[in-house]
Chains A and B, each alone.
Chain A
Amino acid sequence: AQSVTQPDIHITVSEGASLELRCNYSYGATPYLFWYVQSPGQGLQLLLKYFSGDTLVQGIKGFEAEFKRSQSSFNLRKPSVHWSDAAEYFCAVGADSNYQLIWGAGTKLIIKP
């Protein structure tokens, strides 16, 4: 069965600094990979997704993610964070075998002034 691990529960980054949020998955075939963001008290919004092709995916709000099959990872990056990026970020994995979407536990991003 597929699974998703987000190793960091919280990450604190200074405003203007770069960001990388980790996501590791377990699945035998090529997965469908997603990053969603949840601002405080709000629903989730899709940042980006990867199905196939170029392993570097561009998303909204200046985010990008890179699929690395050898590491079973799909890490989210942003070169310079803004205070408005403070939110919780969820990685999710979909599989062909069962039409399910499996969610990671989330990483809470805290921005220091």
Chain B
Amino acid sequence: DAMVIQNPRYQVTQFGKPVTLSCSQTLNHNVMYWYQQKSSQAPKLLFHYYDKDFNNEADTPDNFQSRRPNTSFCFLDIRSPGLGDAAMYLCATSRAYFPNTDTQYFGPGTRLTVL
């Protein structure tokens, strides 16, 4: 089945220790998104790629970076995690570049704990 896969599902890191979350997709979609979701809150878009074109949301902290080496994979790097970065991180994809209308397909998420 075509799907969006996130690894690891649970990640524990120490305050200030860099961490990388990964996402892969077998849907061959052009667009990949990274969301941050804190408990009982709506997903918050951090950035998205249309193919290799990177689009950063204005309020995404510089501490968050992303890489998309090819169509299938996308990585979220948190350079110096703080306690406030503990959250669920969701990866999503869509076929075309219309975030306002396209169905987004989500992975199961990575829950990040910062000690």
> Which of A's residues lie within 8 Å of B, judged by CB?
9, 32, 41-46, 49, 51, 88, 90, 94-96, 98-101, 103-106, 108
> Could you name 26 residue pairs across A and B whose Cβ atoms are closer than 8 Å?
A9-B40, A41-B108, A42-B109, A43-B4, A43-B6, A43-B92, A43-B108, A44-B92, A44-B104, A49-B103, A88-B40, A90-B42, A94-B101, A98-B100, A99-B98, A99-B99, A99-B100, A100-B99, A100-B100, A101-B45, A101-B99, A101-B104, A103-B42, A103-B43, A105-B42, A106-B41
Q: Which of B2-40 contact A (CB under 8 A)?
A: 4, 6, 40
Q: How far is the CA of A24 from the CA of B106 in the complex (A)?
A: 24
| CA of A98 to CA of B101, assembled, Å | 11
| A46 and B103 contacting across the interface, CB-CB below 8 Å | yes
- Partner of B99 from the list A42, A94, A105 (CB cut-off 8 Å) is A94
8 closest residue pairs by CB, A with B: A94-B100, A43-B106, A103-B42, A44-B106, A43-B108, A99-B100, A32-B101, A46-B103
Q: Is the interface of B mostly helix, strand, loop or mixed?
A: loop
* B112 interface hit (Cβ, 8 Å): no
A residues near B42, Cβ cutoff 8 Å: 90, 103-106
Interface residue tally of chain B, by bracket? 20 to 34
Chain B: minimal CB distance from A24 (Å): 15
Which residues of chain A come closer than 8 Å to B106, judged between CB atoms? 43-45
What is the interface of chain B, defined by CB distance below 8 A to chain A?
4, 6, 40-43, 45, 90, 92, 97-101, 103-109, 111
**A96 and B103 contact, CB distance less than 8 A:** no
B98 touching A46, Cβ below 8 Å: no
Q: B109 and A43: CB pair below 8 A?
A: yes
Closest residue of chain B to A42 (Cβ to Cβ) is: B108
- Of B40, B41, B103, B107, which contacts A43 at CB under 8 A? B107
Cβ–Cβ contact A44 & B90, under 8 A: yes
Of listed A44, A88, A94, A95, residue having the most chain B CB within 10 A? A44
Instruction: For the complex, give the distance between the alpha carbons of A98 and B45 in Å.
Output: 14
